[in-house]
Amino acid sequence: MNSKVLQTGMFISISETPVDVEGLIEKTRNENAGAIVTFQGTVRRYTEKLEVESLVYDSYREMAEKTIKEICEEAVKKFDILDVNVVHRVGKVILLEDSVVICVAAAHRKDAFRACEFIIDAIKERAPIWKMDVTPHGEKRWRD
């Protein structure tokens, strides 16, 4: 268990613009970290058998940021991590763009990997962020 305070702070953002992945990694970089694990949730062509050309995300922004912050604080308590930064997109996100980026810094890779997986799983389960598939034919479908 980690009883330390984060060494560089925590950055959480709901953004309408593409994520600056390199900038987020640099924000996460820490002289005491031997590992930075980055998760990029990327828009893919097929969701199950449905072909998509983009996704549209909507959120209750203030609550989503608060929930993600709480999830990251849980990760800090649960894993030995030094920093965590998360950006989640809203609006239209096209093929190959990142819809969410999570960067976790830790002294050792195992804690960074475990924390990163915990954070994305919890965001998908608890954050008030909704996703709509948009097909090449213009069909739109909200996901459960």
Q: How far is CA 139 from the centre of its chain?
A: 26
Q: How far is CA 115 from CA 62, 79, 97, 120, in A?
A: 23, 6, 23, 9
pLDDT at res. 3: 42
Domain ranges of the chain: 10-138
pLDDT at res. 132: 97
17 DSSP 8-state letter: S
Instruction: Give the global pTM.
Output: 0.93
pLDDT at res. 40: 98
pLDDT at res. 48: 86
Q: In what order do the strands lie in the sheet with 54-59?
A: 91-94, 54-59, 129-134, 140-142
pLDDT at res. 2: 43
Sign of the C-alpha dihedral computed for residues 15, 19, 21 and 27 taken in this order = negative
pLDDT at res. 10: 94
Joined together, the tokens standing for residue 46 give 């097929």
In the predicted structure, residue 1 carries a pLDDT above the cut 70 = no
Helix, strand, coil percent content, the chain, rounded in steps of 5: 30, 40, 30
For the stretch 23-65, pLDDT in tens is 999 999 999 999 999 999 999 999 889 999 999 999 999 999 9
Least confident of 4-8, 23-27, 37-41, 90-94: 4-8
Joined together, the tokens standing for residue 22 give 């390199």
CATH fold, domain 10-138, is Aldehyde Oxidoreductase; domain 3 (3.90.1170)
For the stretch 102-141, pLDDT in tens is 999 999 999 999 999 999 999 999 999 999 999 999 999 9
